Amino acid sequence: MGYIRVLPDNLVNQIAAGEVIERPASVVKELVENALDAGAARIVVELEAGGQRRILVEDDGAGMEGDDLLLALERHATSKLESEKDLFAIATLGFRGEALPSIASVSRLTLASRPASVPEGRTVTVEGGRFGPLGPCGLFAGTRVEVKDLFYNVPARRKFLRSPSTELTHVVTLLEHYALARPDVAFRLAHEGRTLLDLSPVKDRLERFFELFPEVPREDMVPVHHEGPRVTLRGLAGKPERNLGTARYQFTLVNGRFVRDRVLQHAIIQGYQDTHPKGRYPVVLLALTLPLDRVDVNVHPAKREVRFVDSQAVHDAVSRALRQAIAPGQSVPPASAFPYPVQGEWPPGAVAETIPAFGGSEGAGPPGLPATGLFEPREGTAAPELLASPLRALAQWRHSFILCDSPEGLAVVDQHVAHERIRFEQFRRFLERPGPRQPFLIPWTFTLPRPMAHRAEEAAQVLSSQGFEAEPWGPDSVAVRSAPAFLTPAETERLLDEFVGSLGEVLRTPRDRWREVLIMRSCRGSVMLNDPMTLEKMQYLLDTLYALGAPLTCPHGRPIVFTLREADLLAKFGRT
């Protein structure tokens, strides 16, 4: 007797439903995607008990005739693919042909539809995968899908559903995403007779964003734009100083499809690196457009993930566009950003030649960075003009805070964190460009683990890209001959130990440790609280901060500037 058997269709559909249908929001997702693919300009969703008892989705899309109505309920039946070639350039949200049969196998489903060219609609009922007769019905042009008693015949799945309010929250969040993806479509969501969303078509995605989230101040958002041969990017980015304790306001769209992609999430983290504390999240809306054959959406049954042909190019485009949006002067700093050359044994053209002589603790900066005197130019060197800051220093309060006139009102600047951010940006840029190295008396060598033994040259290149001088030393070893002169011996040892400890199946650089070193150095050498400053020095600090184009937070994420808006100040004195 054989052991292999073909599973019955109903069981196959229930298995497929387990991959595609997790909760009421999954049903809504599949039906809304079908409606959008059908060209709907208006979509209505009605729920009862958070969707567990009843889900109704109506649209005014193309509709289906009788035979197509029945075919749509068969597995892998779709109008969205015609050939194998189409699978590698998918332009629709749905394409597998699994949604309707999967839903029908675990619910009591009624499907009705009518094309505009047909005078009468057709309807069919399916209960737990068992078809009822196809019959006529009166219906507007479009499609109506009603799903009752989700998972009634799969109690093991039903018990994992949450409370109706929790399931409803998932549906609301889902429709927010699709409303952002398609601002040209009207959406309405009602729960047990109460309207929760009622959105008319709007001209663009940004207008839809502020319609959905009026609690996000427009002045806290800046536009994001990137135009490249491989990826186009449009959206909004929140200013770093307005970070939140939740990632609820982070939205990423790829070719109109909402996704949670690890490449994009990491790119957002990189774009906002060193701008807010750990556990805080920026507000981000990103819509990426790529050639259809450069992104694979066929990697997850529920289509939540995508795979990019060139993920590095996408990652770099997103992180760079975000950085340029929140700190426009960082990527290409103005020539006048570092006006005071410093003394020291630096080779001509080294980055340190343009680092201002900010005073601070001894040993706080690279070799040649003066440790005394604030904003003191080299003897005989004229200080070029800085880009004027919109902040104008008025006074110093308690030798710790700079009171400023700003276009928005009265600004208060924390002198320590402002100087810390300036120094951090200077040190970071120092490391991004070739600089002097300190040679070792004896090369520091290490042996790669067996799985990595053939990658000695690659390991040496990674270290060299981090400012070290490294080369292969035999078939499975690497020799490090020098380290950036910026580092102390203890920091050098720690960085190299962590690099060796990270060697495994992939090579990664000790960027987090670099960041810790830079932050520590920036803090130690900065102007402190209770340090008196002249008005000229205060203004110079403000102008330098502005010229760097840096985010208005310190590397730890603390805000640099607090502004008391003019309108609020007038209101306090009854002058509104």
How confident is the model at residue 3, as a pLDDT?
76
Instruction: Centre a 10 Å sphere on the Cβ of residue 278 and count the other Cβ atoms it contains.
Output: 6
Residue 133, domain CATH: 3.30.565.10
Residue 378, domain CATH: 3.30.1540.20
Q: How many domains is the chain built from? A: 3
477 located within any domain = no
**143 and 81 part of one domain:** yes
**Which residues share a beta bridge with 46?**
56, 190
Residues 6+ apart with CB under 8 A from 455: 448, 507
Q: What are the counts of helices (DSSP H) followed by strands (DSSP E) for the chain? A: 15, 23
**292 and 319 part of one domain:** yes
- What range does the domain containing 74 cover? 9-199
Instruction: Centre a 10 Å sphere on the Cβ of residue 524 and count the other Cβ atoms it contains.
Output: 16
Candidates 417, 552, 431; CA nearest to 483 is 431
Candidates 204, 181, 203, 179; CA nearest to 44 is 179
Q: Tell me how far apart the alpha carbons of residues 423 and 289 are, in angstroms, rounded to a whole number.
A: 37
- At residue 62, the 3 state secondary structure works out as coil
Q: What distance separates the 2 farthest-apart alpha carbons in the chain? A: 98
**119 and 172 part of one domain:** yes
Residue 529 contacts residue 399 (beta carbons within 8 Å)? yes
Candidates 7, 6, 8, 34; CA nearest to 20 is 34
pLDDT in tens, the chain (576 residues): 567 877 776 676 666 666 678 899 999 999 999 999 999 999 999 999 999 999 999 999 999 988 888 888 887 666 655 556 655 567 677 666 678 888 998 999 999 999 999 999 999 999 988 899 999 998 999 999 999 999 998 888 898 899 999 999 999 999 999 999 999 999 999 999 999 999 999 999 999 999 999 988 888 899 999 998 889 999 999 988 778 877 888 999 999 888 888 899 989 988 888 787 777 889 999 999 999 888 888 776 666 778 898 988 999 999 999 988 988 755 433 322 222 222 222 222 222 222 233 333 333 333 333 333 334 443 443 444 555 688 999 999 999 999 999 988 899 999 998 988 887 887 777 666 666 888 998 998 988 877 677 778 888 888 887 778 999 988 889 999 998 876 778 778 877 876 776 665 445 555 555 666 677 767 766 788 888 999 999 998 998 888 877 778 877 778 889 888 888 888 888 886
**160 and 102 part of one domain:** yes
How confident is the model at residue 362, as a pLDDT?
34
CA angle (8 as vertex; 5, 12 as ends), nearest 5: 105
Length of the chain: 576
Q: How far is residue 94 CA from its own chain's centroid?
A: 24
Q: Tell me how far apart the alpha carbons of residues 427 and 434 are, in angstroms, rounded to a whole number.
A: 12
Residue 311, domain CATH: 3.30.230.10
Task: Return the residue matching tokens 């807010």.
Answer: 276
Q: Tell me how far apart the alpha carbons of residues 294 and 312 are, in angstroms, rounded to a whole number.
A: 12
58 located within any domain = yes
Taken in order 21, 22, 27, 33, the sign of the CA dihedral is negative
Cα distance from N-terminal residue to C-terminal residue, the chain: 90
Residues 6+ apart with CB under 8 A from 219: none
How confident is the model at residue 447, as a pLDDT?
86
DSSP code per residue over 440-499: EEEEEEEEPPGGGGGGHHHHHHHHHHTT-EEEE-SSSEEEEEEEETTS-HHHHHHHHHHH
Candidates 138, 123, 69, 132; CA nearest to 100 is 69
Reported as half-sphere exposure (CB side, CA atoms, 13 A), residue 345 has a value of: 6
Task: Return the residue matching tokens 């049969």.
Answer: 101
Residue 253 contacts residue 183 (beta carbons within 8 Å)? no
**215 and 172 part of one domain:** no
Residue 254 contacts residue 261 (beta carbons within 8 Å)? yes
How confident is the model at residue 76, as a pLDDT?
65
Q: Tell me how far apart the alpha carbons of residues 432 and 449 are, in angstroms, rounded to a whole number.
A: 29
76 located within any domain = yes
- At residue 366, the 3 state secondary structure works out as coil
**286 and 401 part of one domain:** no
Helices (H), 291-376: 311-326
Reported as half-sphere exposure (CB side, CA atoms, 13 A), residue 330 has a value of: 26
- Output the six-digit token pair for 227: 């135009």
**244 and 140 part of one domain:** no
Helices (H), 327-363: none
Domain end marker among 199, 224, 241: 199
Residue 24 contacts residue 54 (beta carbons within 8 Å)? no
Relative to beta strand 284-289, strand 307-308 is unpaired
Q: How far is residue 126 CA from its own chain's centroid?
A: 41
Which element (helix H / strand E) includes 130?
A: strand 130-131
Q: In what order do the strands lie in the sheet with 409-414?
A: 392-397, 401-406, 409-414, 561-565
65 located within any domain = yes
**214 and 314 part of one domain:** yes
Domain end marker among 199, 230, 257: 199
* β strands within 242-282, DSSP E: 250-254, 257-258
* β strands within 239-353, DSSP E: 250-254, 257-258, 284-289, 295-296, 307-308
471 located within any domain = no
Residue 143 contacts residue 38 (beta carbons within 8 Å)? yes
Domain end marker among 277, 302, 326: 326
Q: Tell me how far apart the alpha carbons of residues 69 and 139 are, in angstroms, rounded to a whole number.
A: 14
Candidates 446, 453, 451, 505; CA nearest to 475 is 453
Residue 63 contacts residue 113 (beta carbons within 8 Å)? yes
**151 and 256 part of one domain:** no
Task: Return the residue matching tokens 């600089």.
Answer: 435
**66 and 172 part of one domain:** yes
How confident is the model at residue 458, as a pLDDT?
82
**151 and 245 part of one domain:** no
What is the per-residue burial (b if ≥16 Cβ within 10 Å, else e) of 102-131? bbbbbbbbbbbbbeeeeeebbbbbbbbbee
472 located within any domain = no
**pTM (2 d.p.):** 0.65
CB-count burial class (<10 Å; 0-12, 13-18, 19+) for 227 = exposed
Cα distances (Å, whole numbers) of residue 385 to 344, 443, 543:
23, 45, 10
**246 and 340 part of one domain:** no
Candidates 208, 187, 204, 209; CA nearest to 196 is 187
How confident is the model at residue 322, as a pLDDT?
94
